[in-house]
Amino acid sequence: MTLTPAPVPVGRSVQVKVPATTANLGPGFDTLGLALSLYDNLTVTVRDAPGARVEVVGVGAGEVPTDDRNLVVTAIRHTFAEFGYALPGLDLVARNAIPHGRGLGSSGAAIVSGIMAAKGLLDGIVDIDSNALLAIATELEGHPDNVAPALFGGLTIAWTSHDSPRHKKLMVHRGVSPLMCVPESTMSTELARSLRPASVPHEDAIFNVSRSALLIAALIQSPELLLDATEDRLHQSYRAAAMPGTESLITELRSHGLAAVVSGAGPSILVLCSDPAQRLEAAELVAKHTATHWQTLMLAVDFKGATVISRPVEALV
């Protein structure tokens, strides 16, 4: 397909903010996701020279590509191409806080950052609605459970209908207090997915259906049910051997009545506490668990999702 040069003026700039996410939440494998108050920030400016130049500050500095191979640039290019436009020359500054390779949706955040940047740059030229945003993000990420909450915030249920991804956003009970436990080690999403069996026993599937339904009720109405609601038989036990430190801490936390689960593909741990006092209790237990060093992050649920602000060219003069 021949792409048309994008009618985006040199100097147009957008600022994007995207939250971290945690997927699965225990039983909701590839379906449930939650946006959290930890953010990557991106500034993109159109320039005269072709190609992309990326500056990375914070997480990923010196590690991720800083040219056209960068995942954010890939997402911007893909979005422009979806609407028939070639990528203009770009300067990008990425200020990242979301850890990479630890189950907090960093790749999904990068993809959503790029798509939202493209949306802002094409403002007034193309109208990119929420369905298109989710479809493009899912195509790039491969599944919608992380990109849906990154885009829309809150608790999201994601599914596919007639070959297109869909989502439902729900508000979370104000008492729910997430604690994220982040280790120094990383985990490949591809490896984590490869550890799942091709099929599971019928009774395990029924078990997870019941727990997923209960988890929705616990998160939006009855946080006291979170421990039972986060039980899982579909994926966490199969991945445990690859993340022994994660498995050990989850077992300990749950033995104290705390709803601890693997965050996404891991190895980070999400503890869904029913109130701030219980979250402090969880953090104290993690601090005593000295077999592995864990960074604890007391986060809020992000309800806004990704945002983009456009700065007109004349504002930059």
Per-residue pLDDT of 120-142, as tens digits, reads 999 999 999 999 999 999 999 99
Beta-sheet pairing, 307-311 with 177-183: unpaired
Q: Is the pLDDT of residue 184 over 80?
A: yes
Do residues 155 and 254 share a domain?
Answer: no
Do residues 67 and 147 share a domain?
Answer: yes
pTM above 0.85, yes or no: yes
For residue 176, give the 3-state DSSP assignment: coil
Instruction: Determine whether the annotation assigns residue 274 to a binding site.
Output: no
Which residues make Cβ contacts (< 8 Å) with residue 14, sequence separation at least 6?
43, 44, 116, 117, 120, 121, 308, 309, 310, 311
Instruction: Determine whether the annotation assigns residue 266 to a binding site.
Output: no
Do residues 102 and 191 share a domain?
Answer: no
Do residues 164 and 265 share a domain?
Answer: no
Burial of residue 141 (CB within 10 Å: 0-12, 13-18, 19+) is buried
Instruction: Determine whether the annotation assigns residue 103 to a binding site.
Output: yes
Do residues 162 and 30 share a domain?
Answer: yes
Q: What is the CATH number of the domain that holds 36?
A: 3.30.230.10
Q: Is the pLDDT of residue 195 over 80?
A: no
Q: What is the pLDDT of residue 290?
A: 73
Q: What is the pLDDT of residue 191?
A: 61
Q: What is the CATH number of the domain that holds 201?
A: 3.30.70.890
For residue 7, give the 3-state DSSP assignment: coil
Do residues 246 and 119 share a domain?
Answer: no
Do residues 263 and 308 share a domain?
Answer: no
Return the residue matching tokens 């999400």.
270
DSSP string, 37-60: EEEEEEEEEEESSSSEEEEEEETT
Q: Is the pLDDT of residue 313 over 80?
A: no
Q: What is the pLDDT of residue 190?
A: 64
Instruction: Determine whether the annotation assigns residue 258 to a binding site.
Output: no
Do residues 147 and 234 share a domain?
Answer: no
CA gap 211, 124 in Å, rounded: 45
Instruction: Determine whether the annotation assigns residue 99 to a binding site.
Output: yes
Cis, bond preceding 244 (omega within 30 deg of 0): no
Instruction: Determine whether the annotation assigns residue 101 to a binding site.
Output: yes
Domain count, the chain: 2
Nearest to 26 by CA among 295, 258, 291, 282: 258
> Could you report the per-residue pLDDT of 202-245, keeping only the tens digit for each?
888 899 899 999 999 999 999 999 999 999 988 788 787 788 99
Q: Is the pLDDT of residue 171 over 60?
A: yes
Q: Which of 39-53, 120-134, 178-192 has the lowest mean pLDDT?
A: 178-192
What does the mean pLDDT of the chain come to?
Answer: 93
Instruction: Determine whether the annotation assigns residue 193 to a binding site.
Output: no
Do residues 17 and 109 share a domain?
Answer: yes
Instruction: Determine whether the annotation assigns residue 235 to a binding site.
Output: no
Instruction: Determine whether the annotation assigns residue 107 to a binding site.
Output: yes
Do residues 156 and 191 share a domain?
Answer: no
CA gap 181, 293 in Å, rounded: 9
- pLDDT bin (cut points 50, 70, 90) of residue 44 is very high
Do residues 204 and 284 share a domain?
Answer: yes
Q: Which domain holds residue 84?
A: 4-169+302-316
Instruction: Determine whether the annotation assigns residue 175 to a binding site.
Output: no
Which residues make Cβ contacts (< 8 Å) with residue 162, sequence separation at least 6?
none
Nearest to 47 by CA among 16, 79, 81, 9: 9
Do residues 139 and 75 share a domain?
Answer: yes
